[in-house]
Every structure is written in structure tokens, then in C-alpha cells.
Amino acid sequence: MNIKHPTVPRTSQPSNDTGLYLAVRAAFVAQGTSLNRWCLANGVSRPYAAEVLRGVWNGRKAQALRKKIVEAAGVER
């Protein structure tokens, strides 16, 4: 008996924009803090912030959050 299993679609594709994520992390470290600390202070889930910076989420709210994080880190785009 040959049973075929349905393929599970991926809900989030990996992004090629890891450069921004790494630049933001480095900028926070250069300020003596971290992305995680910024997220805790601003009530943002760190995994969500990472996905926003990588471009996994790109809606209106994600774009606004990305801008806020980038500005706080002092990263020029």
C-alpha cells in the first residue's frame, strides 16, 4: 500500500535581507545595548522584530516597525 502524504506549504519563505538584521544588531551592540533589550523596552517580540528586519513580514505595520527599529539603531539605509 502506497500512501502519499500531502506536502505542507511553507508559510514564510526565507529572506535574502539578513544584512539589515545583522547591521541593526551590530549597531545596537556598538551603542552598548542589544536588539533584544530594545524589543523588551518597546514591547515588541524579538522573533517578530527579526522577521520584520529580514523582510519576512512587509505589511504597513511591519514597515513602520522596521523604520522605528532602524532609526533607534542608527543604521542608515
Determine the pLDDT at residue 75.
93
Among residues 16, 46, 33, which one has the least CA distance to residue 73?
33
Radius of gyration of the chain (CA): 16
Question: d(Cα 25, Cα 1) in Å, to the nearest integer?
Answer: 52
Q: What is the pLDDT along the chain (77 residues), one digit of tens a residue?
A: 555 544 443 444 445 578 999 999 999 999 999 999 999 999 999 999 999 999 999 999 999 999 999 999 999 87
Rounded to two decimals, the pTM is 0.78
Q: Write down the pLDDT at residue 57.
A: 95
Q: So where are the chain's domains? A: 18-73
pLDDT at residue 3, rounded to an integer: 55
